[in-house]
């Protein structure tokens, strides 16, 4: 408990310092609970998520960083490796490939990379995975862009 708290506090201070350095990620620690974090990440350019801002929720377990944080999308996203209803993410580093040298910040970076490079062979969202696997990139892109516009962009007017 003390070890994870100390480590999270170090990450907190690092985030304060790096805020300007990585404009695509904005990590915020909960006001009352250092084990709860949220992040706002920018959809990577040249992807159907470009222009969108996506919110992630982090729940950090007590043995952190020996065990990975639980992360999910709070913002709806159409992506083969993200559960459309729950926002659950299928990403190896959040499971068996986790390393205690990862940080919440580097997890955000990995998630941005996943948005740019979906893995249609381990889909949590089958519709989206099937579109990509059948080679219908246009169909996939238009669905993903539609949901980005609907859920991840500030409403105009």
Partner 1 sequence: MDSDDGMLDAHDLESGEDDFYSGGTDDYNDSDADEPDYGFVEEDVDDSAMVASHRSQINYVVLKEEDIRRHQQDDIGRVAMVLSISEVEASILLLHYHWSVSKVHDEWFADEERVRRTVGILEGPVIPTPDGRELTCGICFESFRPEEIVSVACGHPFCPTCWTGYISTTINDGPGCLMLKCPDPSCPAAVGQDMFEKLASKEDKEKYYRYFLRSYIEDNRKMKWCPAPGCEHAIDFAAGTGSYDVSCLCSHSFCWNCTEEAHRPVDCDTVAQWILKNSAESENMNWILANSKPCPKCKRPIEKNHGCMHMTCTPPCKYEFCWLCLNAWTDHGERTGGFYACNRYEAAKQEGLYDEAEKRREMAKNSLERYTHYYERWASNQTSRQKAMVDLQIMRSEKLEKLSDIHRTPESQLKFITDALLQIIECRRVLKWTYAYGYYLPDHDKRQFFEYLQGEAESGLERLHKCVEKELSVFEIAEGPSDDFNHFRTKLTGLTSITKTYFENLVKALENGLADVDSQAASSKSTNSKPSKSKGGGGKGKGSSKNGGSSS
Residues taking part in catalysis: 90
How far apart CA 128 and CA 137 sit, in angstroms, is 10
Q: Which of 113, 24, 17, 108 is nearest to 58 (CA)?
A: 108
**Which lies closer to partner 1 via its Cβ, residue 65 or residue 123?**
65
For the bound state, the minimum distance from the C-beta of residue 13 to partner 1, rounded and expressed in Å, comes to 10
Chain residues 72-111 in contact with partner 1, contact rule CB under 8 A: 93, 96-97, 99-102
The verdict on 35 binding partner 1 (CB under 8 A) reads no
Pairwise CA distance, residues 156 & 111, whole Å: 27
Q: What is the rounded distance in angstroms from the CA atom of residue 157 to the CA atom of residue 140? A: 28
* Residue 68 binds to partner 1 (criterion: CB under 8 A): no
> Considering only residues 33, 59, 66, 134, which one is a binding residue for partner 1 as defined by CB under 8 A?
66
Residue of 91, 41, 44 whose CA lies nearest to 69 = 91
Helix (H, G, I), strand (E, B) or coil at 110: helix
Least distance between partner 1 and beta carbon 111 (Å): 15
Among 65, 118, 123, 129, binds partner 1 (CB under 8 A): 65
Please report, as ranges, the residues that interact with partner 1 according to CB under 8 A: 3, 6-7, 10-11, 63, 65-67, 93, 96-97, 99-102
């Amino acid at each position: 408990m003390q070890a994870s708290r100390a480590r999270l506090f170090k990450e907190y201070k690092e985030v304060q310092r790096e805020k300007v350095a990585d404009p695509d990620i904005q990590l915020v620690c909960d006001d009352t609970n250092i084990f709860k974090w949220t992040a706002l990440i920018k959809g990577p350019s040249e992807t159907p998520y470009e222009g969108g801002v996506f919110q992630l929720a982090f729940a950090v377990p007590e043995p952190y960083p020996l065990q990975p944080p639980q992360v999910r999308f709070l913002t709806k996203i159409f992506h083969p490796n993200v559960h459309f209803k729950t926002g659950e993410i299928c990403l190896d580093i959040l499971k068996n490939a986790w390393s205690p040298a990862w940080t919440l910040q580097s997890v955000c970076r990995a998630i941005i990379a996943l948005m740019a490079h979906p893995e249609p062979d381990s889909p949590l969202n089958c519709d989206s995975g099937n579109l990509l696997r059948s080679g219908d990139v246009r169909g996939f892109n238009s669905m993903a862009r539609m949901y980005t516009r609907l859920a991840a962009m500030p409403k105009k007017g």
